[in-house]
Chains A and B, each alone.
Chain A
């Protein structure tokens, strides 16, 4: 029987398997950020060294303000301390660090692929749930808590049981105005926020194949929002073309050797998945969430659901509580939801293609609500500025920020006020995610741009020129 992509990567990193089924997995690479401070503290309290400092890469992102990249400008002392600790710890242990003033700084999940640190067929971990993003390149990548990060720092390994496999096959051509974000929001709406629990998802099919790496990164980013251990896409010529020439990608004879390995990775034709799901891309629409879970996504031309028609009592209770928190009424058109502000950024949608797509919508027009755009990395910011995208955003009334997690995570000064509503390209619409009392509607960069122009949720397909 053939093997899946996941099984191939798993097998090539399995050091040993215990009788109880637990497998000790070698970690190829670990990406650290300012939130890694707890794990470094635990390590030093135990007097343990970093086992493979040459395979750890670090950059600050979560607590970084979008207004300035000077450490002294971080007003929150806890965030400043965490960024300073990352600087100290990476120096102490000899870890590559793209510091705040380094042109390679950015959100860990943007920087890894961008620098070529993330590569097909490797096990990659980071103390952040959106590590699933890196699976877009064919890596097995998952987020870990502080104790497991401590374990990786000390041993360069992790204990795991093999997950089940799920293949989600998306076939067909995406209609105009429908993006990778809409594909993954539709998938989560279909299978549920924990629908892939215990599984590693492989995204496959002609739609995924024809996506750029940046689009695949958006899809895999939100695999965790479906509850998956990881999301992956088999590497192909698009992957190799993306990686070629990147700073940490192999060169010369090593490139040829790596490429030969990468080409063995795609799932064998006779590989069997524990679960198979298919999706018709041509039937998709731009999506927007109405509630406090990414599974609450609906086509933008739809309506806010009505709890009165919900037969499941738990679901009904959830809907009632959520509609109250979100301040919207059952049955109203999603496009009638007025927004107070717009955020374009985060590890879901802050790469150069995302910024280009949003800028095409707003070019020559003006935002009617406050709007913030924060590139996913300093490299993305520099590239966007070289193309003049920053000018388009600024002229449209957007604030153009310094790269970092910004308004996605509510801990670096970029907040949505209590009771305020934000159309956001980020990946979580949880209660209080963007700040206490914040109301988040998830959507694509194009849809966020459209909402900024009109002040309400807008079907980008119907936005007149």
Chain B
């Protein structure tokens, strides 16, 4: 579970675990976490709301054809998707629900910009790989369910079931935060002198922003 109310995240270094194939493009944040659950308290956990309408019927029973309802994918900690995963809303509840379910890494061809940023804020690693590789990995996972993928963040590599290894890129700052399990507020507060000096000059340059009515 990601722990946004403290300032420690579960560090992400190397993960070798079961991966589930999600054969859908445009899995938007509304599908990951429907809006009706967005006001649930963070501390209660979001795992039950993940992919709610894809995983469950309206009466709460499971949809047997959804991949995360099938063995061995119920225990998957890695998700391999298609194109445009996490497009749409800024709800951080979407990565919370993945993370609380136990997913620590999502591999896709591309991600929604805000989802991508939000994920790393709660210890979930988004890995961008070429669509051809995403398709290949999903085919391999379908062929041999339960196969593990190895995600090595320091080396920035994904190793497939056939031991083929693929490199991915990640922002060095975000990589450091993930490996150390740190969020950025502590770091930012260490720049307090620079922020304060900037604010003073900003107030002078843009004084009209500070004298508006209340």
Contact = CB atoms under 8 A, between A and B. Distances in A.
Q: Do A and B come from one complex?
A: yes
Given A147-B4, A257-B208, A436-B58, A96 B214 contact: yes
Given A41-B5, A193-B84, A255 B36 contact: no
Contacts of A22: 171, 173
B32 to A, nearest CB: 10
B209 interface: yes
Contact of A156 (B35, B113, B121, B199): B199
A159 to B, nearest CB: 6
Nearest to A52: B199
B117 A79 contact: no
Given A147-B121, A156-B199, A193-B87, A314 B171 contact: no
A294 B184 CA distance: 34
A229 B115 CA distance: 11
Contacts of A227: 84, 87, 112-113
B34 A35 contact: no
A317 B135 CA distance: 13
B213 A247 contact: yes
Contacts of A38: 4, 42, 92-93
Given A128-B90, A292-B26, A410 B39 contact: no
A145 interface: yes
Given A78-B40, A227-B113, A250-B208, A15 B191 contact: yes
B199 A143 contact: no
B42 A41 contact: yes
A318 interface: yes
Nearest to A257: B208
B88 A127 contact: no
B211 A194 contact: no
Contacts of A96: 214
Contacts of A229: 113
The binding surface of chain B is classed by DSSP as loop
A198 interface: yes
A161 B212 contact: no
B118 interface: yes
Interface string B44-65: 0000000001000010000000
Interface in B1-28: 4-7, 23-26, 28
Contacts of B212: 247-248, 250
A436 B53 contact: yes
A13 B121 CA distance: 23
Interface residues of A, number: 85
B185 to A, nearest CB: 6
B207 A147 contact: no
Contact of A24 (B7, B23, B30, B188): B188
Contacts of A26: 195, 198-199, 202
B82 interface: yes
A150 B4 contact: yes
A169 interface: no
Nearest to B86: A194
Contacts of B112: 194, 227
Contact of A254 (B31, B117, B207): B207
Interface string A277-315: 000000000000000110000000000000000000011
Interface of A: 12-13, 15-16, 18, 20-22, 24, 26, 28-29, 34-35, 37-38, 41-42, 45-46, 48, 52, 54-55, 62-63, 78-79, 81-82, 96, 119, 122, 127-129, 131, 142-148, 150-151, 154-157, 159, 161, 193-194, 197-198, 227-229, 247-248, 250, 254-255, 257-258, 261, 292-293, 314-315, 317-318, 321, 409-411, 418, 428, 430-433, 436-437
Given A24-B188, A35-B91, 16 more contacts: A16-B191, A20-B172, A21-B173, A28-B209, A46-B7, A55-B209, A147-B183, A193-B84, A194-B84, A194-B110, A194-B112, A318-B25, A410-B34, A418-B58, A428-B30, A430-B28
